[in-house]
Amino acid sequence: MKLSLVRSACGSLRIHPARPGSRVSVLSRRCPPVGPANSRLILRTASATSSGGASTKIAVDFGKQSQKDEGFECDSSLREIVQSAKEEMAALHRRNPALQPMLAIIQAGEDDSLLEINKKMAGRIGLNITQICLAKECSEDEIVEELLKLNEDPRVHGVYLHLPPASLTSRVLNTLKPEKDVNGVSDLNMGRLVRGDLSKGFVPPVASAVLDLLENRDAPLEGKNVLLVGEDTPLGVAVQCLIERSGMVALRSHWRSKSLQTQVMQADAVVLLGAGKMDVPPTWVRPGAAVIRCEPTLETDEPTIEMSSKSGFGYLTAAYRSQNVVRSCRRWLQEQQYRPWHLRSLKLQPLTPVPSDIEISRAQTPKPVDQLAEEIGLLPEELEAYGRSKAKVRLSLLDRLHAQPDGKYVLVAGITPTPLGEGKSTVTIGLVQALSAHLKLNSFACLRQPSQGPTFGVKGGAAGGGYAQVIPMEEFNLHLTGDIHAITAANNLVAAAIDARMLHEATQSDKALFSRLVPSVNGVRKFSPIQISRLHRLGINKTDPASLTPKEISTFVRLDLDPSKITWQRVLDTNDRFLRKITVGQASTEKGQIRETGFDIAVASEIMAILALADSLEDMKNRLARMVVGTSRSGEPVTAEDLGVSGALAVLMKDAIKPTLMQTLEGTPVFVHAGPFANIAHGNSSVLADKLALKLVGRDGFVVTEAGFGADIGMEKFFNIKCRASGLQPNVVVLVATIRALKMHGGGPNVSAGAPLPREYIDENLSLVAGGCHSNLRKQIQIAHLFGVPVVVALNVFKTDTQAEIDLVCQLAKECGASDAVPCHHWAQGGRGSLELAQAVNEAASRPSNFQFLYNKEMPIVEKIRTIAKKVYGADDIKLSPEAEAKIDYYSQQGYGTLPICMAKTHLSLSHMPDKKGTPTGFVLPIRDVRASIGAGFIYPLVGTMSTMPGLPTRPCFYDIDLNPVTEEITGLF
């Protein structure tokens, strides 16, 4: 016996048990009883021998016996439909044994006769049924509310609206999702039927039953006339369409027609639609003609209702409805599979000279994000739109496509850059535009979300540039979907919790603290789940607050944070140098709890690094709980979970964990997600964005992601930190170089942001170019080869570069070990300018990759640091400060020694000295300090002084940023 329950809309509950051995479970909401509602069919055949207008009514009961008359029989049709539906169900269960299709019936009042018919039919086929009884006088809003719930219920595959005609308003019909409209009554499904497109729609079961009866007469009706009598209703339209497609001629008439009698007498069959108490006299019907009376009714004392509820027509209709539910479930299951892309590229018309980035962005109209999502195989329920051009993508996609093979994984890194940057983002975007829009290969770009600090400071935005951009670029660079704001809120909640806890511990006794931390509510005192977790970590295996000893209470309530060893700072997504060191607690209300602290920029928060490395919501929650915010006076680490705040952090971050979908100028998809610092963190976009994209592109597609700074920093951390966390292995590294950066490494003069470039960088100078290739470019290629990954060099071409310089770089790059080296003109030409790069990447990705990590994570912390310093940076050795040595010993004792290393050093040189270009040698790498991001899962040694809060220059970018109050257009962003 299988029972299912659901709470009634009217407050009571009723249980419908299924027959022993059946697979149907029926859910019911009980409401005030009203008369049953059903569809009646009376079929009459006129006979040449009948007299006095006598006619025979035929009702077929499919419960135990079948009534027949004059050779007309429906039982065989019913058996065929049931058998067909059962075979479809069996096929579904072979693919997914746990799948159980469900039909939901919404009705006004209580109708057990209808329920019984559908229950019996569902039992034969193997469906579940839920019956939702609304009040007889239910409002449109009440019906819509129920429909919205059923629309979002993944267990429900079909909805039957058994309501009075007045309740079937356009709003009601079109609220129901067409894919669950198994009665075929919505405007979309009716339109599909009229157009003859039934690949997604449903035929109304009543219309199917009428056609079945007509087609299964002894005398075939093909080419015969069938008269439909009644008002113009959707049911009439459906019946007419089916009749005409079956080779019969459908004629329409109304009860008011003066020629009705003549039309009836000439018809081979008559279908009466919505006749009410009206009927055609038997004398009008020609001998041998069939009369089908079909109408939905809501009556209370009609004597024929009991008979009609047991009629063959009721069972026949229920069978077709159940068949539609099975087909709906099959379509749903098909939609859950991987869906091939149907990407529509956006056309580019590059101009010369190239306009500003924001002008180019504004000149292109992006596709609506829901359209883009559909083109790349996302389901509507997997999308959370944020306006017209961007949307969050739900992580449920990973469950749906878990069996789908991953695509090819490409990392874009760079040589050691000038302070101006060398264009890794533009190369990334140009590459995916070339792959998707021109080579017609599925591809996805995965980019970091930019901080507003550089956007309003000196560097500007990070949406790419020229004709290789993410659009709309102003939305990309400003706020996006609020992830950084969520990180800011979560980070500062931790900071507030730290100072508040220190204040309360300093000013209250153990008893007072315990009383407030575990308050009595309605006379009951109990621990919250997060407090029980803390008790277990302390070795106190108790759950009753009254059972704790005074010593246990003291241990529980006292974190005893050492103010001088708090490592957690507040954050703000603005460059503000005056917040680097501040004093807090100076108000009299803080009772002397004054301490020095500071602000970091928001993207330097450990929570940002966690967002980038988490592979699920649960993983993120656990990582947030493990974050170490400081040390107690006894030397024990204090975590966010100890503070009791980790659950709240997960709540603040629950939407931020979903990647944001956008598009390039050529309409190819982009995930924008996370943006951790590339010095004290790992400088890569999120693991989740990469994983989602790898499933979406398919086995032969490409996911192109970018690592911050040069390959010695961003790429090394991508391999050793991100790939360890994700379990993913890259197929190709694209190493971005520019002529100006190579000239700098070949001995050219210093390059400074905001200052004009020296002549050496504008005029042709092959010796400087060659020097840069043989030094820095060669070293960065060698670093990639340490990990066993092939390298394609992408030369980002500027208008001042000469052909001789371009040819020389491509030649020398291949001599230095690159699989290929190609010039890229994406900034001026879009994807077409990166076709050579796309072809080179496609070729390199087809070769086997022998990926390996640089070090074993079980190695001691010191040896892991030494390995990176010597093999990646080219140092002779490392030198640890006493403070660094002490920290390493402490972290090893705490069990953190197996974490990977995230080196925090300058990005302007392979060494720790920013002015040493090319490939420095003969240096010892100084390790000033060692810190840990336990939640993120890495140790970060500090090489020199690292600023985590940038400052504003004399003339920041915001001088040029403005808004037109009439058009709301933004100017000055780049």
pLDDT, tens digit (0-9, with 9 covering 90-100), for 511-538: 999 999 999 999 999 999 999 999 999 9
878 is written with which tokens?
């490392």
446 is written with which tokens?
């995965």
Q: Quick: pLDDT tens for 41-89.
A: 334 333 333 333 333 232 222 233 333 432 234 578 888 999 999 999 9
pTM: 0.86
More confident residue, 948 or 302: 948
Instruction: Let me know if 678 is a catalytic residue.
Output: yes
Nearest one of 184, 250, 247, 190 to 215, comparing CA atoms: 247
- Strand duo 628-632 + 225-229: pairing: unpaired
Q: Quick: pLDDT tens for 680-698.
A: 899 999 999 999 999 999 9
pLDDT band at 663 (very low <50, low <70, confident <90, very high): very high
Instruction: Let me know if 719 is a catalytic residue.
Output: no
Task: Kindly name the residue from 514, 702, 719, 827 that is annotated as catalytic.
Answer: 827
- Mean pLDDT on 208-222: 81
Q: What are phi and psi of 613, to 5 degrees?
A: -105, -15
Task: Kindly name the residue from 40, 448, 501, 722 that is annotated as catalytic.
Answer: 448
What is the Cα–Cα distance from 869 to 856, expressed in whole angstroms?
15
- Mean pLDDT on 204-218: 86
Task: Kindly name the residue from 709, 719, 923, 938 that is annotated as catalytic.
Answer: 709
> What does the H/E/C string look like for 825-884?
CHHHHHHHHHHHHHHHHHHHHCCCCCCCCCCCCCCCHHHHHHHHHHHHHCCCEEEECHHH
Element (H, E) at 412: strand 408-414
Q: What are phi and psi of 129, to 5 degrees?
A: -130, 140
Task: Kindly name the residue from 798, 851, 853, 974 that is annotated as catalytic.
Answer: 798
Q: Is 723 helix (H, G, I), strand (E, B) or coil?
A: helix
| Sequence-ordered list of residues with C-beta below 8 angstroms from that of 399, at least 6 positions apart, any chain | none
What is the Cα–Cα distance from 448 to 804, expressed in whole angstroms?
35
Task: Kindly name the residue from 40, 192, 424, 779 that is annotated as catalytic.
Answer: 424
Instruction: Let me know if 798 is a catalytic residue.
Output: yes
First to last CA, the chain: 67
Task: Kindly name the residue from 297, 426, 639, 738 that is annotated as catalytic.
Answer: 426
Instruction: Let me know if 459 is a catalytic residue.
Output: yes
- DSSP state letters, 485-545: HHHHHHHHHHHHHHHHHHHHHHHS-HHHHHHHHS-EETTEE---HHHHHHHHHTT-----G
> Which pLDDT does position 704 carry in this prediction?
98
- Mean pLDDT on 124-148: 93
Instruction: Let me know if 426 is a catalytic residue.
Output: yes
CB atoms within 10 A of CB 250: 18
Q: Quick: pLDDT tens for 257-306.
A: 999 999 999 999 999 887 666 788 989 998 888 888 875 544 333 333 33
Task: Kindly name the residue from 192, 392, 400, 459 that is annotated as catalytic.
Answer: 459
Q: What share of the chain is helix, strand, coil (3-state, %, to 5)?
A: 40, 20, 40
Task: Kindly name the residue from 318, 678, 813, 845 that is annotated as catalytic.
Answer: 678
Which of 167-176, 891-900, 951-960 has the lowest average pLDDT? 951-960
Q: Is 115 helix (H, G, I), strand (E, B) or coil?
A: helix
Instruction: Let me know if 341 is a catalytic residue.
Output: no
Half-sphere exposure of residue 185: CA atoms within 13 angstroms, side-chain side: 22
290 is written with which tokens?
């069939």
Instruction: Let me know if 434 is a catalytic residue.
Output: no
Q: Is 697 helix (H, G, I), strand (E, B) or coil?
A: helix
pLDDT over threshold 50, residue 1: no
> Which pLDDT does position 458 carry in this prediction?
74
Give the residues across from 469 on adjacent strands. 464
Instruction: Let me know if 448 is a catalytic residue.
Output: yes
